[in-house]
Every structure is written in structure tokens, then in C-alpha cells.
Amino acid sequence: MNRTVFGRPLRSLAFDVLVSGVVALLAVAAVVSQPGGVPATLVGCAMAVALLWRRVHPSAVAAVVAGLAMVQVIAGWGPLAYDIGVLIALYSVVKYAERLRDGVLAGIVAAIGVLLAASQTVGNAAWWATAIYFALVTGGVWLAALNVRTRRLYVLSLEERAATLEREREAEARAAVAGERARIARELHDVVAHSMAVMIVQADGARYLLDQDPETARAAVKVVADTGRQALEEMRRLVDVLREPGPAEPPATAEASDDAGVAADPEHRRPAVAELPALLDRFRDAGLRVRHTVTGEPAALPPGLDLTVYRVVQEALTNALKHAGVGASVTVTLEHVPDVVVVRVVDDGHGRPPVGPAPSGGHGLVGMRERVGVYDGSLVAGPRLAGGWRVEARLPLPSTPGTEVVA
């Protein structure tokens, strides 16, 4: 981080002090030999002090320096060594002034000063030859300052554009997160509503069978308890999703999202892992070469977690089709290990652009991170050294597995 002094960058302030010191040194060093003596030295020192504010108040500094130079002309001292301060002030006003008009006015004043200074030059050369020399030097300084000003404004415009694009990306990321949270909340609400319906049906059945078939009634009560625990856990996750989110974390890569996914599932039907074969067939029809493997002993997943696994596979395949292209080979692996289910989608990246729209998903990596985060899982996504892309989600299983019951 750049250090500041009096609100100005330390490097800029140090450079301005050095420039001012050089002008003051030129004024003091010739106090004995230069025309005007001590009064001329005081004028040079005043110029040096004014140059300390050449960046923050360039037009005012140029006016002060021009006034001091006019004092020098009126006194008849002629051009002196410290008059380099006039060129520095001219350069500063052209480069730093908010309006170029100030630089043009400073150039006109400098042209008048060139004629006056040439008329007071004592030497063998004609005054007009001296005027041409002074004009070339002054004009060169003015044009150099104009070139630097143009480049400076161009760099500032690029920085402003970059800052604007960054703000727009952050706003889009926040909007995507908010939309995905709303979608997750709707789906979890459906899960909780389903569990409540199961509990009501099983409780009514237990009440009617309590005297006639105690064993069946006892089993129904157990289902009610298990389903209630599961519904309570899903409700907790639903509340977490609906809480006000913090600053949105932008996607870690340039992987784009599929904006059409918000309109997917218009009937809000809740898909499940059991429907993965149908999903994979749709992507095969779209042009991907998909291979599906399952390792380990599949465990009964709670409805919300079951939905998350499905959505992660759907989003990963959508991005594979969109970026790897038609003809890419994709391996979808579901690995069931104790207490964790691992979803891994790997593509080789060797495809061609799709001829039709990809099956809709959600919001790419943003949506996957949000869904996996709801279940305290982890998501790793990034390019492979051999080419292609790899997505791996690790989702911890609940300590007390829920019981799936069809009402």
C-alpha cells in the first residue's frame, strides 16, 4: 500500500520537494553573480515554494510563477537560471489541469514571456534568434506535457472501465447467488412439506391401528419420529438459506453459468438421484459421451441431500457441454463411503461447440457452491493438467439417516 503524507502519495511529494529544491538551489547559488542579487534570489525561492503544489493546484501555481516571472521582466534582470521553474509550471498545468483550456492559456502567456525574455537578452545573437530558441524549448515542453496528459487520461479511463466492470461482475454474482438461494429455498420447502404430509398420514394410521395392530402402529410412530427429525434438519437448512447473505463470493473461475436454468422445472417437481440415468440420456442426446459409475454401497439420502447430488451432476454436465463441447467424454462418478457421498464429474475438454442449446441447469459454479454449502460440504472445481475440467463435491451424510417413506 502506498504511504501518504498530507493526503498525497509519498513518492509524488518527495519528487516535488526535489524539483522545488533544485529551483531554489539555482536561485541561491547565483545570488552574487546574477542580476538583481538578493531580490532576484527571493523571486526564485518564491517560485520554488509555489512549485510544491504543482500537482494539486497546477493552474494557480502557473499563475503565481507567471506573476513572479513578470516581476523579473519589469525589473530588467533578464533570463536567469531559476527560470527553469517557469517551464516546470507550464508542464504541470498542461499535464494536471482539469481542463486543457488552462494549458492553452498558459502556453499563450509563455509565448509572450518568450518575446519579453528575448528582448532583454544581452549577447551577440539577434533578439529574434534568441526568441526562436526560447520558443522551441518552450514549445517542446508544452507538447511533451500534452502527450503525457493524453496518455494519463487514457490510463485513467481504462482504470475506470476496469473498476466499472468489476462492480458489474460483483453485482451479477450477488444477483446469481440471491436467485439460486431462492430456488434452493423453494425446493427445500417442498421437501419439508412432503415430510409433514408423510408424518400426518402415518400419525393418522397409527391412531386407527393402535388397538387393532399395535406392531404396525408402533412402526408408524417410528416413521413419524424419523421423518420429524429429518424435516427439522431440513427446516434448519431452509432457515439458513433464507438468512441475509454476506458479500457474494465471485466464481473462482471463468466458468460461465446457464441463465436459462431459473426457468427449469416449471412445475417445481423435485428430481432425485434415481432419475440420473434419464438426465444422463438427455446429455447423451445433446452430444456428450457420458459414462456413469457408482462405487460403494448406496445409502438412503435425505430428500434435500438427494436433490443436491442431482443438481450438482446437472450443473457440471451443463458446463461440460457448454465449454468442452459436443463429443467430449465425461465421467460421472458417485462414490459412497462411510459418512460421505462424493460426486465427481470429469470431462476431457476435447469437443466442439454444441449445435443446439445445452440442457438447462442453474447458475454454474455459484449454484453448486451454494447448494453444497447448505449441507456443510466442499466443492473443488478447476482445470485438469491433462485437459478438460473436474468438479468434485463431498457431501457429509447426516449422523442419523432419515427414513424415506412413500405416502
Where residue 192 sits, what CATH number does that domain have?
3.30.565.10
Domain contains 73: yes
Answering whether pTM is above 0.85, one says: no
Question: Which residues form the domain of 281?
Answer: 172-396
Domain contains 211: yes
Residues 293 and 381 in one domain: yes
Residues 73 and 197 in one domain: no
Domain contains 133: no
254 burial (CB, 10 Å; 0-12 / 13-18 / 19+) is exposed
Residues 208 and 106 in one domain: no
60, 94, 122: which is the final residue of a domain? 122
Domain contains 127: no
Residues 94 and 220 in one domain: no
Residues 218 and 323 in one domain: yes
Total count of domains within the chain:
2
Residues 52 and 188 in one domain: no
Residues 183 and 106 in one domain: no
Domain contains 177: yes
Residues 233 and 375 in one domain: yes
**CA 168 to CA 160: how far, in whole Å?**
12
Domain contains 156: no
Domain contains 144: no
| pLDDT tens over the chain, length 407 residues | 457 766 677 888 888 899 889 988 988 887 777 787 888 889 889 999 999 998 889 999 999 999 998 888 888 887 788 889 899 999 999 998 888 888 899 889 888 888 888 877 766 567 778 888 888 998 999 999 999 999 988 888 898 888 888 888 888 877 777 777 777 676 666 666 656 766 776 777 777 777 778 787 777 777 777 777 766 666 666 666 665 554 444 333 333 333 333 333 434 456 778 888 988 988 887 778 999 999 988 878 887 788 889 889 988 888 888 888 888 899 999 999 888 999 999 999 887 765 555 554 445 677 788 778 888 889 999 898 888 899 999 999 876 444 343 33
Phi, psi at residue 67, to the nearest 5°? Answer: -65, -40
